[in-house]
Every structure is written in C-alpha cells, then in structure tokens.
Amino acid sequence: MSLVVTGLSIASILLLVALGLAIIYGVTGVINLAHGELVMIGAYCAWALQSFFGIGLLASLPLIFLATALLGWIIDRVVIRHLYNRPLDTILATWGIGVMAQQAVRLLAGGELRYVEMPEAMNHPVSVLGVEIPIFRIFILGLAVALFGLTWFLIFRTSLGLKLRAITQSREIASCFGINSNRIYGLTFAYGAGLAGLAGAVVSPLKSVAPEMGTTYVVDAFMVVVLGGVESLVGSVASAFIIGQSSSAVAFYANDTIAKALVLLFIVILIRFRPQGLFAAKVRS
C-alpha cells in the first residue's frame, strides 16, 4: 500500500512538471528545452516573493502563474513566433533561452541554493489508508489533478479550446476559417509556461532551489510526454502514473539508481515498438 501511495506522489510531481511541456508540444509542435528553466524560474519567484515581500507560498501561486505565463508569452513573441515553421530550430533556440535564463538567475540571485519555506500547516504527515504521508504531497496531488481538470476543460469545453484543437489538426485550414493561429499559439505557450512556473513553485519546498535545477525536470517531463504520446493529455496522466508507480516499486525492492535506469530502458524499448507513445491522438491523414 505504501508503495502505491509513494508512486502516486511521485506521479503527481511528474504530471505537474510535464503538463506544460505536453500542451506546448501538442499544440504548437515546439520542443521546449527551456521548460526546465521555466520550472526553475517559478521556484525562484516563490523564493523572491517570500523573502522580499513576505508572501507565503500558497498566496503567491497565482502571482507566480501570471509572472511565468507573461515570461512565456514574451519568449514566444520575441523568439519562438519566428520559428513555428521550423520545429527543429526551436530545439536550439529554446535550449539557448534555457542557458541564458540559468545565467541570468545566477547573476540576479547568486549561485547559492535558496530556501523556500513550506506552509507551516502542511509540514507534517497524515495517515491515509494506514500510510503516513506528508500533507504537502497530498496538496501537490490535488493541485496536479485540478490543473489537469482545468486544462482539459479549457481544451474541450471552451471556444478557445475549439480553435486550439482546430489549429492542432490543420493550421492552414483553421486560418482559412478566420482563426488567428498566431494569437492562439502565443496564449498556449504562455499557459504552458505558467504551468511550468507553478510546478516549480510547488516543488520548491520539497526539493532544492538552484539555477541548475531545471535540467533534471526537463528530462523527467520529456520522459512523461514521450511515453504518453505527444498530443494526448490523457496519455500524460497515464504515463506519469506508470512512471511514478514503477519508479516507486523498483526503488523499494532495489534502489533509485536502478529505478531510474530501468524506467528509461523500458521507455526506450517501448518507443521502439510504439514510436507514437502509449496514447496517440487519432488524426485523419
């Protein structure tokens, strides 16, 4: 039982980090290697708001979402917008943006590890089904589910989402129907960046905050998205769940090093036979 709960808690963090990446890639086709740095910037925002303005972590979440979304929107308007027809070049461009973001943070905030306080009310465990788990991890799980729900609602139940799905299927034809794809792409990138920032802010009290922290998250996020199938939201959830559960099980019977290696190996083998991932969106060709 404790294995499953631990797996769920790992999965919720994976999903939170991967959601933004999945949306950006699924809609715009941009492989955003700066995703990890957006996570990192979210964490630094949490630190800055807390230590300079005394705003607690929970209260600062909406601000952080807006700030990183704005940053994402700027990145999109200044750089990515010009590369929408050259998806391969976006890899290099976003990687460069990531490097610059890391160094900028280092210059502004220094190289030291930073400290983000956990909300005091959440800094202890509760017993769930006979297992002691930290309240904060339950909160992360809840947030991941809520954000997934919100994203699903935006895409499948709003007119914005309808346009977005139209663009995903065929950008040219959607444009013929008067949909401003440029604007939708910008908003998508901003939304994905905002989700990344939120993820960073939420994991910051559990993990460490440093300019390099983004690197590990971008690897995790890509694992989830590739395994799940790049255009499928449900796929991201399923693959985060699978990776979380298998990591937790292998780590329990062996250790985390072996878990990391085995999970990667499993993904490599799987995409050899199912390159489109577990849940590929069905698109008429």
Residues that bind another protein (CB under 8 A): 2-3, 6, 9-10, 13, 103, 106, 111-115, 117-118, 122-125, 132-134, 136-137, 205-210, 212-213, 216, 247-248, 251-252, 255-257, 259-260
162/256 with CB nearer another protein = 256
> In angstroms, what is the minimal distance from the CB of 51 to another protein?
11
In the numeric block, which tokens belong to residue 231? 């255009």
Q: Please, what is the minimum distance in Å from the beta carbon of residue 13 to another protein?
A: 7
* Residue with smaller CB distance to another protein, 124 or 183: 124
Give min distance, CB of 145 to another protein, in A: 18
Task: Give the ranges where the chain is alpha helix by DSSP (H).
Answer: 2-28, 35-53, 57-78, 87-109, 135-157, 159-169, 171-176, 181-203, 214-228, 233-253, 256-273
- How many residues does this entry show for the chain? 285
Rounded CA-CA distance 192/179 in Å is 20
First-to-last alpha carbon distance for the chain, in angstroms, is: 44
Q: How far is the CB of 195 from another protein (least distance, A)?
A: 19
Nearer to another protein, 252 or 266 (CB): 252
Listed residue (85, 78, 69) closest to 100, CA to CA: 78
Amino acid (one-letter) located at 263 = V
213 vs 242, beta carbon nearer another protein: 213
Q: Distances from the Cα of 184 to the Cαs of 24, 79, 83, 112, in angstroms?
A: 11, 16, 15, 38
Residue 119 has phi, psi (to 5 degrees) of -55, 130
Shortest CB 8 distance to another protein, Å: 10
- In the numeric block, the tokens 């086709």 are attached to 29
- In the complex with another protein, the residue whose CB is nearer, 72 or 205, is 205
> What minimum distance in Å lies between the beta carbon of 254 and another protein?
9
Nearer to another protein, 154 or 206 (CB): 206
